[in-house]
Amino acid sequence: MTAVSSPPAPGTAAAAPADLLARLVEAAHRQTEERRAAVPLAEVERRAAWAAQAAPVRDFGAALRAPGLSVIAELKPRSPLKGPLTDDYRPAELARRYAAGGAAALSVLAHTEGFGGRPEDLATVRAAVGLPVMRKDFIVDEYQIAEARAFGADAVLLVVAALAPERLSALHAYALGLGLHTLVEVHSVEEARAALLLDAPNIGVNHRDLRDFRIDLGLTARLRAVVPDDRVLIAESGVRGPADARRLHTDGADAVLVGETLMRSADPAAEVAALIQERS
């Protein structure tokens, strides 16, 4: 398959490849192999063990269980669909602004080709704020999970659609073995059931269909009917402001993960605060 294309110039939209998910997953494999060639897994696991002593895991799930609607604020320099989201990406400063606005946790893109992030950004953000930090990526290998812990992450995202069932189970178990929390992302009833088979406590609903790129905010309500109330349900993608946040909270979301809206905001702290004011 062809690699993910270079991002367009600022202000222009990226072309939407028909096989976006497959291309992003392939890029994740390639990035992982390049990093493994530089630093072997055994060394990364050694660093992860050291990090577990120096920077104990912050409770990602507990941070999202506060009354009302919690916000996971996302840091990403660009989108594979829409191109650059900022021309001045400073993760530490942005993380501090999100924290000032009341974000419950942070999602940090570590996928380079598609989103312009780096695993090293996890350490930068971890040092800047006291909030739980999640590695947002297409996790396809244990290496990425060990690397996340080594850089101070508290949680990792696992995308059901990107993994065969046995790999999903193995990677989930590996993450738990390192003491990390997980957010398991789904896009259908079948995928939600797969997440429940893992006994995943935090389940994310991606409103974006990566086959045709449509946003369906109604998906959260439909999947809340499948996901028990004792699981944290996170609504992802397409949250453009307080009205969407209010709707999703009414539909059963415990938290929203918001990226593009915050990245494009002139005042990200105020934007986060406006989202979390939407409480029932």
Catalytic residues: 74, 76, 136, 185, 206, 236-237
Residue 74, H or E segment: strand 70-75
At position 199, the amino acid (one-letter code) is D
Rg (CA), the chain: 17
CA 214/CA 29 separation, integer angstroms: 26
Residue 183, CA distances (Å) to 15, 63, 200, 222 in order: 28, 13, 8, 19
CA 77/CA 80 separation, integer angstroms: 10
CA 240/CA 205 separation, integer angstroms: 16
